[in-house]
Structure 1
Amino acid sequence: MWIHILVFFLTFFMMEFMAWFTHKYVMHGFLWNLHEDHHKKDHDSWFERNDTFFIFYAIVSISFFLLWQNNILELGLAIGLGIFAYGLTYFLVHDIFIHQRFKLFRNANNRYARAVRRAHKMHHKHIGKEKGECFGMLIVPFKYFK
Structure 2
Amino acid sequence: MILFIAITLVTFIIMEGITWLTHKYVMHGFGWYLHEDHHQPGYPHVFEKNDAFFIVFAIPSMLLFYFGIRPELNYLFFIGLGILLYGLAYFLVHDVLIHRRFSWFKNTKNRYLRGLRKAHKIHHKHMGKEDGECFGMLFVPFKYFKKAKW
Instruction: Please give the range of the TM-score, normalised by the shorter of the 2 chains.
Output: over 0.9
Contiguous gaps of at least 5 residues in structure 1? none
- Please state how far the C-alpha of 1:71 moved relative to its aligned partner: 2.7
Identity %: 58
- Number of aligned residues: 146
- Please list the CA deviations of residues 16-53 of structure 1 after superposition, one character each: whole Å capped at 9, or x if unmatched: 00110000000000000000000014753210000000
Q: Which residue of 1 aligns with 2:21?
A: 21
- Please state how far the C-alpha of 1:73 moved relative to its aligned partner: 7.7
Q: Which residue of 2 aligns with 1:64?
A: 64
Q: Secondary structure at the match of 1:69?
A: coil
Q: Which residue of 1 aligns with 2:142?
A: 142
CA distance in 2 between partners of 1:90 and 1:134 (Å): 15
Q: Which residue of 2 aligns with 1:86?
A: 86
- Point out the more displaced range, 104-113 or 75-84: 104-113
Q: Which amino acid aligns with 1:18?
A: I
Report the TM-score, using the length of structure 1 for normalisation.
0.95
Contiguous gaps of at least 5 residues in structure 2? none
Q: Which amino acid aligns with 2:116?
A: V
- Point out the more displaced range, 62-71 or 39-48: 39-48
CA distance in 1 between partners of 2:60 and 2:2 (Å): 23
Q: Which residue of 1 aligns with 2:110?
A: 110
Q: Which residue of 1 aligns with 2:36?
A: 36
Q: Which amino acid aligns with 2:31?
A: L
- Please state how far the C-alpha of 1:102 moved relative to its aligned partner: 0.4
User: How much is the aligned-residue C-alpha RMSD, in angstroms?
Assistant: 1.4
- Point out the more displaced range, 2-11 or 71-80: 71-80
